[in-house]
Amino acid sequence: MTPAPTRPRPPAAFWRLARLLGGLGIGLSVLLTLGTWGLTLIFAPQLAHWLDQASAGLTNLNTGLEQLTASLAPLDLLARPETLDAVRTLGDLAAQARSAPIIGLFLSQNGVTDQALQGLQTVAGNWAELLEHRPSLPQLRAEQAEVQGWLTRVQQARQWLTPAVWLLNLGALLLGLWFLAGQWALMRLAGEQLAALTQEKQAEQPA
């Protein structure tokens, strides 16, 4: 029975290349691990500062919308159709009184001057315009709800920032150690194979 043929061993150049790649891999793993830690430790505080600023701005905006909604709530009651009709009617009556000589004479004899009628007409017009063009309370409440939603997201992101940074750093460290261990094992194997090839060459040389 003939013995099975032995597989040819890789040449020494192959193991030298493997040892070189192993050393480069160790350096790369250390560089990536330190780079990840450095970047997170540098940029995490800045990101936290931006999130704090965004949270403060959204909080102020939410407070302002809440105060504006509370201020406009009484006007919403006055902006009913019957109220607007009454205000417009009052302005129209003042305008008609100023344009009708008989009514104007009667009112002037009773102490109502044209200047007072003009002021009443102006006030009624401004009041009607204010009620018509006031911000919509449902729209304001919808915008406030959207602001509150973004405020919640920003606050949650701020709370998760520090744990996420340390989880990323820990993952990078473990991955770097795993990669470094593999490259170290490759270097050791390459060194052992090179030593074995050197011994074989020395054994083959005549004494």
DSSP E strands: which ranges in the chain? none
Per-residue pLDDT of the chain (207 residues; tens, 9 = 90+): 454 455 566 777 777 887 888 888 888 888 989 988 999 989 999 999 999 999 999 999 999 988 888 877 776 665 556 555 565 665 655 565 555 555 555 455 545 555 665 665 666 666 666 666 666 677 888 888 999 999 999 999 999 999 999 999 999 899 988 988 888 888 888 878 777 777 777 776 665
Residue spans of the domains in the chain: they are: 34-73+138-180, 80-133
- Cβ–Cβ < 8 Å for 98, 118: yes
Longest C-alpha distance within the chain, in Å?
145
Confidence (pLDDT) at 115? 61
